[in-house]
Amino acid sequence: MSAPETIASVLIEALPYIRKFAGKIVVVKLGGSIMKDESLIARFAEDMALLRSVGVKPVVVHGGGPQIGELSAKLGKEPVFKGGMRVTDAETLDIVRMVLVGKVNRDIVAAINMHGPIAVGMSGEDGGLIEAVERNPDLGYVGDVTKINTSILDRLITENIIPVVATIGVSTEGQAYNINADLAAGAIAASLGAEKFIALTDVPGLLEDKDDESTLVRRISYEDLKKQYDANTFDGGMAPKVESCLVAVEGGVPRAHMLDGRRPRVVILELLTRLGVGTMVYSPAQPPVPPGAPIP
């Protein structure tokens, strides 16, 4: 098959998926480790612009753990983690806000806006987007999401703008909190009634053996994943990623995905082709997909 015919074939294959997701919200959580690679960010920005151009409504939520760690080290601030969460005192909170809002968010917005004025950056403090309470006194200014006020997102989405959200939350008393980006993204997906939630990370997906990528779990039900989570099967950085998928699916998102963000065009592959990549978590209301069948 010639190159033009191949391109045409790919476009035809994508057509039913474009029809399926046109007008639907897709929340994508971008991990900080992915954002350290400028070429991956450029491709990610192209993917978001492409999705918007075919009628999909992407919402980007990001963290920035590695970048926070780098600035903390430069300032002589030794990071402390408990249960995969960064202990956040007042000084660390200032660093988190500077990095997430002042640096990482702006970089993502700028990359997307290379393709037109189509993205707007914000933090969870803007418009009271992410309401939060203290998670645990031992963690300092680390918060749990209590409410997502989607009105500001709804307005941007209606205007065909891609929101890019830095996950700083705020209490009803005005106290800012460092919010785990995975958990915030899952909550945002549920609150927006997203069609899909996609967590981009630096692993292929959920692995039965974390040291063996050939043990990738291609699909798993909410119930089975919840049992594993409740049994404390996951530790470190994987636990919040799993929890984010559970939060999204429990909140009504039909399917959540953990994908390898290091893989070029992985979001496009997942959404607009019959290839299933990474791990899919399906809701109790969705029947399991037979092995070998296209993944919706």
As beta bridge partners, residue 148 has 130
Spatial neighbors of 91 by CB under 8 A, at least 6 apart, are 77
CA angle 194, 195, 200 (to 5 degrees): 80
70 assigned to some structural domain: yes
Task: Indicate which CATH number applies to the domain containing 104.
Answer: 3.40.1160.10
Check residue 283 and give its pLDDT.
83
8 assigned to some structural domain: no
Check residue 286 and give its pLDDT.
58
Pick from 206-215, 241-250, 287-296: least confident? 287-296
Check residue 35 and give its pLDDT.
78
For residues 8 and 15, give the distance between their C-alpha atoms in angstroms, rounded to a whole number.
11
190 assigned to some structural domain: yes
290 assigned to some structural domain: no
288 assigned to some structural domain: no
Cβ-based neighbour number of residue 171 at 10 Å: 16
13, 274 Cβ separation under 8 angstroms = yes
Indicate if the pLDDT at residue 100 is higher than 50.
yes
Position with higher pLDDT, 284 vs 199: 199
The letter for the amino acid at 110 is A
168, 125 Cβ separation under 8 angstroms = yes
pTM of the model as a whole: 0.91
Give the chain's domain count.
1
For residues 61 and 165, give the distance between their C-alpha atoms in angstroms, rounded to a whole number.
5
For residues 49 and 53, give the distance between their C-alpha atoms in angstroms, rounded to a whole number.
6
148 assigned to some structural domain: yes
Band of pLDDT at residue 291, cut at 50, 70 and 90: very low
Say which DSSP state 171 is in: -
Q: How far is CA 207 from CA 184, 224, 234, 242, in A?
A: 23, 14, 10, 12
Read off the pLDDT of each residue in 229-238 and give the average, rounded to a whole number. 84
Domain extent, residue 262, equals 21-282
As beta bridge partners, residue 25 has 57
Q: How far apart are the first and last CA of the chain?
A: 27
Band of pLDDT at residue 292, cut at 50, 70 and 90: very low
Spatial neighbors of 169 by CB under 8 A, at least 6 apart, are 124, 125, 130, 131, 132, 143, 145, 176, 177, 178, 179, 184
Indicate if the pLDDT at residue 26 is higher than 70.
yes
Dump pLDDT digits (tens) for 31-64. 867 777 888 899 999 999 999 999 999 999 999 9
Pick from 78-82, 149-153, 243-247: least confident? 78-82
Owner of token pair 């959404």: 271
Check residue 233 and give its pLDDT.
85
Spatial neighbors of 226 by CB under 8 A, at least 6 apart, are 246
Position with higher pLDDT, 8 vs 216: 216
As beta bridge partners, residue 210 has none
7 assigned to some structural domain: no
Average pLDDT of the chain, as a whole number: 89
107 assigned to some structural domain: yes
Token digits for 272?
């607009």
